[in-house]
Structure 1
């Protein structure tokens, strides 16, 4: 991750980011994360006399995919999707994101994406939106990506809520016409939507300001990241 070619790519990325900012464009970061019913904290404290580990079923169940887009001042769009989130799904979600930006008065967005396989086809549809630009984040540059900080807060709240509600989720009362898997997935969706509500505009500004401390180092090609 600290090869010279990656440092050069980070510097090139920073130059393009500054160019877009100088043009008065709105910078919007896009990223995805996912979780399932058995997403728990990997570290913590146990009460005296109790085990520090928690035994969970071997089957993790279906994932709930969370897709988000944030600017330096607000969460622009948040969507949950059951199961996999593939390139074709990303194309449709991207169109929805452009519409959401228009609805919020963001008329000249520059969307910053990473090199995930899900994003591989976004350049193919960018011509549909002449007012939109794409900017790819340099490899191994999570320190320059404020949405990573947003996901950290989001997952922290989510895991806490899962821990509180797990006994009720695992012993949920059966509803006629709904499978247990469907009922639990609905619980996950509700927890995700409640957790994202903790992300405030002030927090988004803080995430953006925090990553900017690394901009000078990335521009000078001396930003070193740790695994």
Structure 2
């Protein structure tokens, strides 16, 4: 049978170690206290020659863990900055930062314990709601209200597209054979609708097939302003055209620089 482990009191250990430090007969003291000679010799080697402090070992409490709370906080900060990181990438970053190598499953356990769950990503533009953009929106509203107070007619342009392609995904054929139908490589052109509205309703619109580029938008603006001028109800000098910052609107200033339309005003929508 294995020998029963016996734990010595801290006072007994301190007395043997103090005697050895004072060059006393620590072997006799150990014998008087009932301490085995090998155990006393181990104490002297550790605490006298090795300068290890004599202290009571902690009992109970939280067990030692490889991943500390600071490491968990580091992982959570990485996820807050980039939610798209994989468990392997998190494990690699933790190893580069702390030198501790853990399995991806360990990362998952600690992240799940902090109530971080896997969900669908919601992507936001990098410059969304920045202080600079908020200031630009404020400037846009101030200018817009000034035009409205001056009695200008505010026109808004926007466009959308419709996918006219439709096809069936199921058909009939002889049992054991596929239902095959020859189709074109492309689905056909989309139809774009470009319209202009004011506070009184629809002012002008056009439809076209294919892509909508800046040249198409500029042609639409020319047609719109000519239509407004021909109606005779509104002077071009009283027209303020509001455009968003879409790629197809990137060169609208060219139209307003032409002599025919220079009386009209272009106002860019805030970002």
TM-score by length of 1: 0.50
Q: CA deviation at 1:61?
A: 2.6
- Structure with bigger gyration radius: 2
Residue matched to 1:136:
268
Q: 1:67 aligns with which of 194, 205, 209?
A: 194
1:89 aligned onto 2:237:
no
Residue matched to 1:150:
none
d(CA) in 1 for partners of 2:186, 2:162: 13
1:21 aligned onto 2:148:
yes
Q: 1:116 aligns with which of 246, 252, 258?
A: 246
Following TM superposition, the consecutive aligned residue runs of length 4 or more in structure 1 with deviations greater than 6 angstroms are none
d(CA) in 2 for partners of 1:65, 1:112: 19
Aligned residue pairs total 122
d(CA) in 2 for partners of 1:92, 1:74: 22
Considering Cα pairs closer than 8 Å and 6+ residues apart, tell me whether 1 or 2 has the greater RCO.
Answer: 1
Q: CA deviation at 1:38?
A: 4.2
Q: CA deviation at 1:130?
A: 2.8
1:106 aligned onto 2:238:
no
Contact 2:137–2:270 at 8 Å: present in 1 too?
yes
d(CA) in 2 for partners of 1:119, 1:72: 22
Gaps of 5+ in 2: 1-127, 167-182
RMSD: 1.8
Residue by residue, what CA displacement relative to the aligned partner does 1:113-154 show, whole Å, maximum 9, x if unpaired?
Answer: 001111111112212223200000011xxxxxxxxxxxxxxx
SS at match of 1:131: coil
SS at match of 2:138: helix
Contact 2:221–2:255 at 8 Å: present in 1 too?
no
Deviates more, 1:22-31 or 1:103-112: 103-112
d(CA) in 2 for partners of 1:28, 1:81: 21
SS at match of 1:138: coil
